[in-house]
Amino acid sequence: MTNTPKPEVGGATRRDFLKVTGAAAGAALATSLFPSGVHAAGSDAIKVGLVGCGGRGTGASDNVLHSAPNVHIVALADAFEDRLDGCRNYLTSKSAEEDKVKELGNKVDLPKERCFVGLDAYQKLIDCPEVNYVILATPPGFRPYHIKAVVAAGKTLFTEKPVASDAPGIRTVLEAAEKSEANHQAVVAGTQRRHQLGYVESMKRIHDGEMGDVTGGRAYWNQGVLWFKPHQKDQTEVQYQMRNWYNFTWLCGDHIVEQHIHNLDVMNWGLNAHPVRAVGMGGRQRSVQNPEDYGVIFDHFAVDYEYPNGVHVLSMCRQIDGCANDVSEALVGTKGQWRSGGYNLNGKSVVTREQDKAAQDPYVQEHTDLIESVRSGKPLNELKRVAESTLTCILGRMSTYTGKALKWEEALNSTEQLMPEPAKLDWNTELPKWAVAVPGKTSFA
């Protein structure tokens, strides 16, 4: 695939680690993911279509250009024309200027007829016959519908995380996961720690018992305020909220879902399970004086997740300036402990500094792994797993918003639908009057 060296740790390559830890859980499947049903040999072109041309979508497209040879970006879709144009200009100049992209034989070919704008642009791109590899990087609320459409089209899928903002969306994704597995489709999610050398080797050793039985853990993502965009003249409310998607729960899921999923996915990975129950607390401190500046999301959460066998994980995430920052995970076992900082297991790093430095960027590696799985006829499929990690986060949000202790099944079967169907959404749709949740008063549905 690429010429990037695959460092060896413990006598095995990074690819071997993926095969044994679950990042290659779908590798036993042996069917092509291309719409034609013909095996995708290493020389076959990966023809990428990007849905969602914001910062993460543009970054993911840049990543895929560096991930493997013979990758072509052939189509773009976004609700907003200015974002599509910015992405198109960036990718076109990048492919023309960067030696690594040229070395791999990759290119960007984006004629106007394959650049789709509007709320229905995603379907036009998915239906585009030139596309066989779809990247989804829209606001998370849209993702269940987009995932369903890609799976129905039989195309290879890279979906950013999280994969929904509400429980009905999760149920849609779980149905799509079942269908994609039956069809031997390749799906990788943007939980890039699953493709990161230090994490992969850490989890291999934890699952091999070096730490004994896991008895507890913690997961933190504490940082400052991210971003908000003020109202612009002549914007409709739908346009305004979509430009500010991170600050509205129907689109983002709140930051416990959109961002903290990385840490909680590591907890699920380490414990080989999802939680059975959660009780959380949190609120909205930073925006008390200017409530219109930050939509309706909370800015801090603390959740106690209970896993099978009575194992508890402490989860904390916060976005408030001027506070102590910490983005990390840790697990405790009967024979020791592991911390993500330095990938430290029982007092020793599981990889050397040289090995960690030589490893490929995990944002690139996740595409390398997906493409290799397609070309080898052993497709990865991470869709069910990322749906469960997303629901882990939604469970924590629901418990925090309501102040109630909630079980996994209650969250999964919740009837609260935040995201309208895209087919029923236009720029003039009248949105609900979203209110900031009040623990103890906000009801669970």
Residues 282 and 380 in one domain: no
Average pLDDT in the 405-427 region? 94
Average pLDDT in the 171-175 region? 98
Q: Is the pLDDT of residue 383 over 90?
A: yes
Residues 125 and 226 in one domain: no
Q: Would you say residue 205 lies in a domain?
A: no
Q: Would you say residue 332 lies in a domain?
A: yes
3 state SS of 210: coil
Residues 271 and 140 in one domain: no
When computed from its CA atoms, the radius of gyration of the chain, rounded to whole angstroms, is: 21
Confidence of residue 301 (pLDDT cuts 50, 70, 90): very high
pLDDT at 291: 54
Q: Domain holding 147: CATH number?
A: 3.40.50.720
Q: Would you say residue 2 lies in a domain?
A: no
Q: How far is Cα 290 from Cα 248, in angstroms, rounded to an integer?
A: 15
Residues 68 and 82 in one domain: yes
H helix or E strand, kind and range, residue 393: helix 383-402
Residues 292 and 398 in one domain: yes
pLDDT at 96: 67
Contact 136, 422 (CB under 8 A): no
Q: Would you say residue 201 lies in a domain?
A: no
| Count of Cβ atoms closer than 10 Å to residue 238 Cβ | 18
User: How far lies 274's CA from each of 1, 205, 266, 363, in Å?
Assistant: 34, 20, 11, 24
Residues 51 and 75 in one domain: yes
3 state SS of 2: coil
Going through 25-144 in order, the beta strands assigned E by DSSP cover 46-51, 71-78, 107-108, 115-117, 133-136
Residues 367 and 339 in one domain: no
Residues 87 and 120 in one domain: yes
Residues 270 and 394 in one domain: yes
Average pLDDT in the 32-52 region? 61
pLDDT at 99: 86
Q: What percent of the chain has pLDDT over 70?
A: 88
| Assigned token pair, 408 | 């996994």
Q: Would you say residue 167 lies in a domain?
A: yes
Residues 134 and 224 in one domain: no
Q: Domain holding 299: CATH number?
A: 3.30.360.10
3 state SS of 266: helix
Q: If you count them, how many residues does the chain have? A: 445
pLDDT at 290: 55
Q: What is the pTM of this model?
A: 0.90
Confidence of residue 386 (pLDDT cuts 50, 70, 90): very high
- For residue 136, which of 69, 191, 189, 193 has the smallest C-alpha distance? 189
Residues 220 and 175 in one domain: no
pLDDT at 423: 84
Q: How far is Cα 445 from Cα 442, in angstroms, rounded to an integer?
A: 10
Contact 418, 166 (CB under 8 A): yes
Measured CA angle at 396 (ends 287, 279), to 5 deg: 105
pLDDT at 231: 85
- Look up the domain containing 165 and give its range: 8-194+362-386
Burial of 232 (0-12, 13-18, 19+ CB in 10 A): exposed
User: How far lies 309's CA from each of 153, 213, 216, 399, in Å?
Assistant: 41, 11, 11, 21
Q: Would you say residue 266 lies in a domain?
A: yes
User: How far lies 434's CA from each of 156, 252, 300, in Å?
Assistant: 36, 13, 19
Q: Which residues contact 226 (CB under 8 A, 6 or more apart)?
A: 246, 255, 319
Counting the structural domains of the chain, the total is: 2
Residues 380 and 392 in one domain: no
Q: Would you say residue 144 lies in a domain?
A: yes
H helix or E strand, kind and range, residue 252: helix 249-252
Q: Would you say residue 224 lies in a domain?
A: yes
pLDDT at 10: 32
Which pLDDT tens digit goes with each residue over 223-266?
A: 999 888 888 889 999 999 999 999 999 999 999 999 999 999 99
Q: How far is Cα 332 from Cα 318, in angstroms, rounded to an integer?
A: 23
Average pLDDT in the 288-308 region? 84
